[in-house]
Amino acid sequence: MARNIPQYLTYQFPDIKVLLVEEEKFSREKLLRILKRRFTTLFVASDSVEGLKLYQQYQPDIVIIDITMDQMGQLEMVQRIREMNANVQVILTTNHDDNDFFIHMIKGYSNHIILKPINLDYFFQAIQSSVNQIQLENEIKNNIAAVDYFANTIDRVKFHEYLIEEVKRTRDGTHPFSIIKMEIDFFQKIIDGFGMNAGEEVLTTISTIIQQKISEKDILGRGKTDEFFLLLPNIEADDAVEIAESLRFLIENFDFKSIGKVTCSFGVTEHLNWKSKKELLNEAEIALHKSKKNGRNRVTLFSKAH
């Protein structure tokens, strides 16, 4: 008796579009059979001209293309695609494993290179890696769309409103809370060296890292272009320092692709003894300045000794 097979058993990645460009018929049909089990939306071309047209029309997420030394139009196709979308995932296949110069040359065009005859384990790993990157970028974009341009943050005015309310709520001193002010180190150098798009990527990525670390009751706000504020209700200074140190470590060790290492400096203060909003923000700024003065990429807790 016939039965329906659940879609997730047939297609592992139903929301991702793939373009396959392969001139050799047997290889093309073999890869198609493999890809059809994992993707619902597939586009197929037998040459670079047709492949470029399909990319321009459908904007697939992953491009899989065979590269040969005698048909360099294939590299020109990839270059054109990169100009349209620098973040597209490109998997190159090639049988020129004996030509180191050629392999070195095509590395700059690809996210992954698979030598022929294709090892399916390597091929699946390349696909999974590409899918993971696409899903991460989509998650960041969705977070941006859900709240504002910088992913789940509120602006400075709204943050100040929350801070005023928290100061009022804790007037009796029985409910401590803490403030963290953080600044991206040498952010202007990132923009000067890599452009505004890279700067925006750093901002949204750091915002996402913070959101994944803090609890639902914590409030993340924006300051100036390179600044973030964290309001941590019911969190004392020592725990706030621990949170800041954890964020510092996560950001320092995150792979920002071609940008290189990105770090942040932190200033922490705690609400005690009827401090006003202005006093809290000033203390966080003083502590942050101390972190920057002492070499950046560090956490400093405010003390009157500053």
| d(C-alpha 118, C-alpha 31), whole Å | 10
Residue 288's pLDDT is what?
Answer: 96
Distance CA 71, CA 220 (A): 52
All structural domains of the chain: 7-145 (3.40.50.2300), 147-301 (3.30.70.270)
* Ramachandran class of 242: left when φ > 0, alpha when ψ lies in -120 to 50, beta otherwise: alpha
pTM, two decimal places: 0.52
Q: How confident is the model at residue 180 (pLDDT cuts 50, 70, 90)?
A: very high
Q: What pLDDT is attached to residue 131? A: 86
Q: What is the mean pLDDT of residues 169-179?
A: 77
Residues 6+ apart with CB under 8 A from 184: 190, 202, 203, 206, 226, 227, 262, 263, 264
Q: Does pLDDT of 245 surpass 80?
A: yes
Report the alpha-carbon angle 208-213-214, nearest 5: 105
Residue 210 class from Cβ within 10 Å (0-12 exposed, 13-18 middle, 19+ buried)? buried
163-167, 170-174, 193-197, 283-287 — most confident range: 283-287
pLDDT digits (tens, 9 = 90+) for 43-53: 999 999 999 99
pLDDT at residue 69, rounded to an integer: 55
